[in-house]
Amino acid sequence: MSRVHDALRRAEQGAPPHAEPAPEVRPEAPRLPEFLPLGHGPASVRISVDPASLSEVVTVAFNPAPESHLLDLNTSHETPAEEFRTLRTRLNHLQTLQPLHTVIVTSPSPAEGKTFSSVNLALAQAHLTESSVLLGDFDLRRPVIHNLLQIDRAPGLSDYITGACTFAQALRKVQGTNLYLLPAGTPVKNPLELLNMRQCKQLFEDLPRLFNWAIFDTPPLLFSADANLLSTMADGTILVVKIGSTTFDNVTRAISSLCENNVLGIVANAARASELYSKYTYYYSKTE
């Protein structure tokens, strides 16, 4: 009956009897703020790194700390330096067989020589090639490369990923060389979340256009998931073990955690001097 009364009322007002009532206009409800997942905010806009920006990088002197134990690659008769030149040669050969530009260096546990190996490998690569080489500190939990080379920690990797600085501002170039340094940057509360951001993956995609080699020091495999994540982005992974310290079980667990993802090989650190020198005594005498 109510619909009949409505029709009669509209007829009295001159409206067609079959016309529908006008929809009720209600004020628009206020929109709730949208919370974007980490890595999808304004800072995650795709911005490719411009190779020309490398000319803006600050130059620093090569001034390693006394406790850094870095090798003098100009001294050809030093056996440890020769070992890193051998490693460099093998990697350069692999590069001719497959796309290989970004390499992470990790270990099963702490204090097994991963930072020592990554820094000296980067120095060996920069000593040989005229192409640019990048040494990056992706161990955001316990970064030490900035201390070993006595440079500022920030701005660095974390600052670039969060959009706090440009890539060129995050880098340092070692004076008189083609070696670039990417320190860890400003400390962050959750490094794994930072490395999961889209910008980190984009950085790995851009690096081969800028550097012939990009070598990264990362946290130990069995103490965090950072290196496992980074291994999925890099072209290859090098596992460093310490003779007399790293157990076979830890090596097995570490390789299993990587799911054999681009594992290039294992570097044995802390070998006895007699084991190394016996390889070169035929070529190098004590009088030379």
3-23 b/e with 16+ CB inside 10 Å = b? Answer: eeeeeeebeeeeeeeeeeeee
Q: Tokens standing for 61?
A: 């002197």
Check residue 152 and give its pLDDT: 97
The whole-number pLDDT of residue 284 equals 44
pLDDT, residue 168, reads 95
CATH class of 59-277: alpha beta
Q: Give first-to-last CA distance, the chain, whole Å.
A: 116
Instruction: Write out pLDDT tens, residues 165-195.
Output: 999 999 999 999 999 999 999 999 999 999 9
The CA-based dihedral angle spanning residues 46, 100, 63, 141, taken in that order and rounded to the nearest 10 degrees: 60
Cα–Cα distance measured from residue 23 to residue 26, given in angstroms and rounded to the nearest whole number = 9
Domain ranges within the chain, ordered by starting residue: 59-277
pLDDT value, residue 46 = 44
Position 49 scores a pLDDT of 76
pLDDT at 210: 94
Nearest of 123, 84, 146 to residue 213 by alpha carbon: 123
Question: Nearest-5° angle of CA 79, CA 85, CA 86?
Answer: 90
Tens digits of pLDDT across the chain (288 residues): 555 455 445 545 554 545 555 555 444 443 333 333 333 344 444 456 777 788 899 999 999 998 888 877 566 556 678 889 899 999 999 999 999 999 999 999 999 999 999 999 999 999 887 789 999 999 999 999 999 999 999 999 999 999 999 999 999 999 999 999 999 999 999 999 999 999 999 999 999 999 999 999 999 999 999 999 999 999 999 999 999 999 999 999 999 888 766 899 999 987 765 554 444 444 444 444
Q: What is the torsion angle, in degrees rounded to the nearest 10, for the CA atoms of residue 230, residue 197, residue 146 and residue 103?
A: 20
Residue 283 has a pLDDT of 43
